């Protein structure tokens, strides 16, 4: 039986990853965190002292880098050159670096190849900025999340505080959000874009639970068939 794919796109802090994880749990499918892959590339560049905007140097770095995505009890772990960096890629500084490095075509092509390979083997939900438009253009279900920049900054600040990072200000996080929005939507290759067939969900006033219910409501009668497909996969 064919596998199905759910694509969730949107800007930083719109709630994509939280929603994707919730959908994966609800439907019993795999969640592939594509952003973590670009963060791993950024972390490698930072550790190697390579500018994330220097394409020739990054291409050389990619040729020597080994990136593996493994799933432990349904949870994704990111292995960089044999080291589990799942937590390290969430540290301050990696976010902006990931936005810069993901704008480079060779990086996106390498990561997308991995993403398509994984998505072609099982029922999956992917979130990112170009999932429905470039990574999985034929995905059966596409969603595009939005939210006000200020709300997205508030969420990110709260998330970092939970992770123990308390030296950030709202202004600095908001600036980071706006930088990433501009970088992601104006890059020449596979930019952040809403496809014509994507369902838009504004999460500004929503709790994560409300956003999940909204997405599931959009699927409505197809939920049972999705579950049946997954059980038969």
| Domains detected in the chain | 5-220 (3.40.50.300)
The pLDDT confidence band at residue 219, using thresholds 50, 70 and 90, is confident
Phi-psi map region of 67: left, alpha, beta (phi>0 left; psi -120 to 50 alpha): beta
DSSP H helical segments within 65-104, as ranges? 94-101
Residue 222 in contact with residue 6, Cβ under 8 Å? Answer: no
Given a contact cutoff of 8 angstroms between Cβ atoms, the answer to whether 81 and 66 are in contact is yes
Give pTM, 2 decimals. Answer: 0.83
Which tens digit of pLDDT belongs to each residue from 96-114?
899 899 989 999 999 999 9
Question: Residue 205: helix, strand or coil by DSSP?
Answer: coil
* Strands across the sheet containing 141-146: 30-33, 124-128, 5-9, 141-146, 199-202
137 versus 224: the higher-pLDDT residue is: 137
């Amino acid at each position: 039986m064919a596998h199905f794919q759910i694509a969730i796109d949107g800007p930083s802090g719109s709630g994509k990853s939280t929603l994707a994880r919730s959908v994966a749990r609800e439907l019993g499918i795999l969640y592939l965190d594509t952003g973590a892959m670009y963060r791993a590339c950024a972390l490698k560049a930072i550790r190697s002292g390579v500018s994330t905007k220097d394409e020739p140097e990054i291409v050389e770095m990619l040729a020597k880098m080994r990136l593996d995505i493994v799933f432990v009890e349904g949870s994704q772990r990111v292995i960089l050159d044999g080291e589990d960096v799942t937590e390290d890629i969430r540290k301050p500084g990696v976010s902006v670096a990931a936005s810069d490095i993901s704008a480079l075509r060779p990086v996106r092509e390498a990561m997308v190849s991995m993403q398509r390979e994984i998505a072609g083997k099982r029922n999956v939900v992917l979130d990112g900025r170009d999932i429905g438009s470039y990574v999985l253009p034929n995905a059966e279900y596409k969603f595009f999340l939005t939210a006000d920049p200020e709300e997205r900054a508030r969420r990110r600040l709260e998330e970092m505080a939970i992770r123990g990072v308390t030296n950030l200000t709202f202004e600095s996080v908001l600036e980071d959000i706006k930088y990433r929005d501009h970088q992601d939507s104006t890059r020449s290759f596979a930019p952040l874009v809403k496809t014509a067939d994507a369902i838009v969900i504004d999460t500004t006033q929503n709790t994560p639970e409300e956003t999940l219910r909204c997405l599931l409501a959009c699927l409505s009668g197809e939920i049972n068939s999705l579950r049946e497909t997954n059980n038969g996969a």
